[in-house]
């Protein structure tokens, strides 16, 4: 990060403290400029997370090319959170995290390609949730890019029923006959509708990513079989 950009970021972090500040580094011709953005996270939530104002992002894009996303960690280290890693990997530019008032700077670089399927931390609405894992499996296994449907946390308690409403749009149909590798198992876990998905690997194993845990294969049977609402298969799969 260039010296004048770091100076501007530090001034922004100090002005917003104890809330997180957020902003963008914009390339305008041969020079770079730091653009302060509003953190839309409400109330106390703004002290430990940020929600960058889309209008500010659009205004920065009008000026030039966005080459960095910046935010502060008030009264904390510059170590990236699970959400920081997931959201950085979802984009194409580096993320910069400034601890404040300590002043240490950490840079994250987006992961190239599909992240490893096992050992992912859970961050809902990104490649690091159960549907994100299904998308990653299909990209690596079959070279198929499934739609990245928007999904806001707790959708299963608002009657949105996303898995059941969207599996056909994603290219799946109800599975017939014995389970096959690549079948997607839709489950109802402590919710009024199917809210969790996993991929059948064969030999009685299912790959899934449950809230609060790292993604991993598990034995498919017992608890998970009892909670299965539907098994779907990608069209054309053999």
Tell me the catalytic residues. Answer: 130, 196, 208
DSSP 8-state symbol, 206: E
User: Strand, helix or coil at 147?
Assistant: coil
Q: Answer for the pair 174, 196: CB distance below 8 angstroms, yes or no.
A: no
Q: Answer for the pair 185, 198: CB distance below 8 angstroms, yes or no.
A: yes
For residues 209 and 118, what is the distance between their CA atoms, to the nearest angstrom?
A: 9
User: Strand, helix or coil at 164?
Assistant: helix
85-90: Cβ within 8 A, 24+ apart: 85/121, 85/123, 85/128, 86/121, 86/123, 86/126, 86/127, 86/128, 87/123, 87/126, 89/115, 89/126, 89/127, 90/126, 90/127
């Amino acid at each position: 990060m260039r010296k004048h950009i770091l100076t501007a970021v530090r001034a922004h972090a100090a002005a917003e403290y104890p809330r997180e500040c957020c902003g963008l580094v914009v390339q305008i011709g041969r020079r770079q400029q730091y653009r302060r953005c509003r953190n839309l996270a409400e109330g106390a939530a703004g002290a430990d997370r940020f929600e960058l104002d889309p209008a500010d992002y659009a205004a920065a894009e009008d000026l030039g090319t966005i080459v960095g996303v910046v935010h502060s960690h008030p009264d904390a280290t510059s170590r990236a959170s699970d959400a920081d890693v997931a959201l950085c990997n979802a984009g194409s530019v580096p993320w910069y995290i400034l601890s404040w008032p300590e002043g240490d700077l950490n840079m994250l670089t987006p992961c190239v390609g599909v992240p490893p399927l096992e050992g992912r931390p859970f961050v809902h609405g990104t490649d690091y949730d159960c549907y994100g894992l299904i998308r990653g499996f299909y990209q690596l296994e079959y070279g198929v890019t499934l739609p990245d449907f928007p999904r806001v946390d707790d959708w299963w308690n608002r009657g949105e029923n996303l898995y059941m409403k969207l599996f056909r749009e994603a290219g799946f149909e109800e599975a017939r006959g014995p389970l096959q590798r690549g079948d997607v198992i839709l489950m109802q876990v402590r919710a009024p509708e199917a809210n969790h998905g996993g991929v059948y690997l064969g030999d009685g194993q299912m790959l899934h990513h449950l809230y609060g845990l790292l993604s991993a294969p598990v034995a498919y049977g017992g608890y998970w079989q009892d909670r299965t609402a539907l098994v779907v298969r990608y069209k054309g799969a053999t």
